[in-house]
A and B are shown apart, each in its own frame.
With several copies, the nearest count.
Chain A
Amino acid sequence: MENTNNSHTLDHKTLTKSFHRWFWGALTCFSQEHMQTFGYMASMLPILRKLYPKHEDQVKAIKAYTAFFNTNPMLGTVIVGITASMEQARANGKEIDGETINDMRAGLMGPIAGIGDSLIDGTLIPILLGISLGMSSGGSPLGAIFYIVAWVLIAYFGQRFLYFRGYRFGGQAVSFLVGKQGAAVRHAIGIVGSMVVGGVLASWVNVTTSLKLYGSNGKVFLNLQDKLNSIYPGLLTVLITLFCWWLMTKKHVSAIWTMLILVVISLIGVLLGFFNPGLSY
């Protein structure tokens, strides 16, 4: 590589192209083995082509991006932006090599996956959907349209912002996640995430029992759901969730098996008259 040349700068067009490739392609060629690796390479290509005129340098440079990569594709955009700026520094002969880049990527992808999944999938999307569902009750398309517009705008401009922030500030862009304030910010975000996830569970999921015991006079003698509600509203819902959590976390049961166990529980519950979704045509 031309270590002496100090004048490689990425123009806005190249960066935008790289961003768009990530925006559209982060997971298009996903596999359980390499996950987002190819999406990442595809979005780095425009950068490498620009920075390294010689084909052989490009080939050398791409090697850094063949390492396994997976993170939350929304928040993770910032990492792509950071590597763009690191790659530029490397092209300009700064003391950065592929390993440095990969250490950064490997170090960030974990926390950002965790934060992103809980913040985007667990917090933001349920809030947006919750609002939109209310608007679409009664069969109105309003809610769906609102959701499309609101989310696509947030996602596109949000990710774009993150990409360029990553490019401009490099590692500092996420210093609030890994630097001094790191633990604090993540802890605070975790509080919001946890509380909203709890709220989502209570608002949208409602596991109930239909068990009622009748006295000799035919009157209801025990309405179990009412009793459970008087203990703690939503008790069954929260218990089933904790049970799934326990299975997966403490017993290392996979999600699929957890679901099958729920099928068994449901079947037994239905047979015993404990569960009855009250279906009818």
Chain B
Amino acid sequence: MTINWLQAAILGLFACLCSNSCMAGQAVGNYTIGRPLVGGLVCGIVLGNLQLGIACGVAMQLVYIALVTPGGTVSADVRAISYIGIPLAMVAISSQGLNPLGGSAANLAKSVGTLVGTVGTVLYYAVATMNLVWQSFGWKDVHNGKLDKLTAVNFGWPWVSHALFSFLPTMLLTYYGATAVTALQTALPMDGIAMKTLFTVGGMLPCVGIAILLRQIIGRVVDFIPFFVGFTLAASLHLNLVSVTVVSLMFAVIVYELEMSRGSKPTNGTTADGPSDENAEEDI
């Protein structure tokens, strides 16, 4: 399998569309086009091997299933994973003649994905930083009352950031990457320290994502309890996520009712204000 300039350019274009700050919007770009599962579909079509593309996408998606980016804190970049990682992994797997659905292929895909995903955060911050330039244009426009130009600031100029830091790197890396990947495979054998470390890190990366989320959720130490219960249900009882959600709803309702029954205390405290308040409460 090789990648020609046209294919590389198409991949570069998709790279512009996704990531956290991207040209296709959050819902469609970041959450849809950017996710490795969808990236696998796209790369599979573009490179003409749907099954291999999907298989690589599934393998990589598994590692980044709960990617969170609160306040723009990005632990791995979806554009690099999906549109640099998947194509390169596909090339590597087919050049090695591996069974696309086998475990070795998935391992290879994951290690490539981990590598470019972490590296890709550079691209992410580069784009966001370059956007400061267009934003400075925007401030001037606001100051000068040229509101019509704001649309270009928000929707137009950022294409330049992406041309430089999404399109070009993706196109070049996927076009020239085939050789690089082969070289890499020789330089960094799968059973060598580097690859083992890389892949061990890859397996741990989602922990960072989850930890970022936990930072938002956990206030007091008791807040860990539902987290651990969910973990236990899935780890020890092998409940799937929909089932975990169902069980969690039971507790959610209880906690809601509990808070509501307590929430009335302040109101009780104001009973002196008059009986009308009280009656309102009794109606609930």
A contacts B: CB pair < 8 Å: yes
The prevalent SS among residues of A at the interface is helix
B153/A38 in contact, CB under 8 A: yes
List of B residues within 8 angstroms of A138 by Cβ: 101
Contact residues of A between 177 and 196, Cβ < 8 Å to B: 180-181, 183-185, 187-196
Please measure, in the bound complex, the distance between the C-alpha atom of A184 and the C-alpha atom of B255, giving whole angstroms.
7
Q: Would you give the shortest CB distance from B144 to chain A, in whole angstroms?
A: 9
Tell which of A82-90, A149-157, A165-173 binds the partner.
Answer: A149-157
List of A residues within 8 angstroms of B193 by Cβ: 267, 270-271
What's the tally of chain A residues with a CB closer than 8 Å to chain B?
124
Q: Would you give the shortest CB distance from B259 to chain A, in whole angstroms?
A: 3
Contact of A279 among B62, B74, B191 (CB under 8 A): B191
A196/B230 in contact, CB under 8 A: yes
List of A residues within 8 angstroms of B28 by Cβ: 24, 152, 155
Tell which of A3-11, A95-103, A202-210 binds the partner.
Answer: A202-210
B260/A144 in contact, CB under 8 A: no
Q: Is A74 an interface residue (CB 8 A)?
A: yes
Interface, chain A (partner B; CB < 8 A):
21, 23-35, 37-39, 41-42, 45, 48-49, 55-56, 58-59, 62-63, 66, 70, 73-74, 113-114, 117-118, 121-123, 125-127, 129-133, 136-141, 143-145, 147-148, 151-152, 155-156, 159, 180-181, 183-185, 187-207, 230-234, 237-238, 240-242, 244-245, 247-249, 254-256, 258-259, 262-263, 265-267, 269-271, 275-281
B138/A121 in contact, CB under 8 A: no
B248/A191 in contact, CB under 8 A: yes
List of A residues within 8 angstroms of B169 by Cβ: none
What's the tally of chain B residues with a CB closer than 8 Å to chain A?
124
Contact residues of B between 191 and 230, Cβ < 8 Å to A: 191, 193, 195-197, 199-201, 203-208, 210-218, 223, 226-230
B150/A42 in contact, CB under 8 A: yes
Q: Name B93's closest neighbour in chain A (CB-CB).
A: A281
Q: Is B249 an interface residue (CB 8 A)?
A: yes
Q: Is B234 an interface residue (CB 8 A)?
A: yes
List of A residues within 8 angstroms of B248 by Cβ: 191-192, 194-196
Interface, chain B (partner A; CB < 8 A):
20-28, 30-32, 35, 37-38, 40-41, 44, 50-52, 54-55, 57-58, 61-62, 65-75, 96, 98, 100-101, 104, 107-108, 111, 118, 121, 125, 128-129, 131-132, 134-135, 138-139, 142, 145, 147, 150-151, 153-155, 157-158, 185, 190-191, 193, 195-197, 199-201, 203-208, 210-218, 223, 226-236, 239-245, 247-249, 251-253, 255-260, 263
**Most chain A beta-carbon neighbours within 10 Å: one of B57, B65, B104:** B65
A259/B150 in contact, CB under 8 A: no
A-B pairs with lowest CB-CB distance, top 5: A198-B230, A30-B21, A195-B230, A184-B259, A202-B234
**How many pairs of residues, A versus B, come closer than 8 Å at their CB atoms?**
409
A280/B21 in contact, CB under 8 A: no
Q: Name B68's closest neighbour in chain A (CB-CB).
A: A121
B54/A144 in contact, CB under 8 A: yes
Please measure, in the bound complex, the distance between the C-alpha atom of A140 and the C-alpha atom of B50, giving whole angstroms.
8
B190/A279 in contact, CB under 8 A: yes
Known contacts A28-B21, A144-B54, A191-B251; A281 and B190 CB within 8 A of each other = yes
Please measure, in the bound complex, the distance between the C-alpha atom of A212 and the C-alpha atom of B232, giving whole angstroms.
25
Contact of A270 among B61, B197, B241, B258 (CB under 8 A): B197
Please measure, in the bound complex, the distance between the C-alpha atom of A29 and the C-alpha atom of B33, giving whole angstroms.
18
B201/A266 in contact, CB under 8 A: yes
List of B residues within 8 angstroms of A49 by Cβ: 147
Please measure, in the bound complex, the distance between the C-alpha atom of A127 and the C-alpha atom of B239, giving whole angstroms.
12
Known contacts A123-B245, A189-B252; A38 and B150 CB within 8 A of each other = yes
List of B residues within 8 angstroms of A25 by Cβ: 25, 154-155
Q: List 7 A-B contacts (CB under 8 A).
A: A27-B26, A113-B71, A136-B57, A188-B253, A247-B211, A248-B212, A279-B190
List of B residues within 8 angstroms of A196 by Cβ: 230, 241, 244-245, 248
Please measure, in the bound complex, the distance between the C-alpha atom of A131 and the C-alpha atom of B145, giving whole angstroms.
49
A276/B196 in contact, CB under 8 A: yes
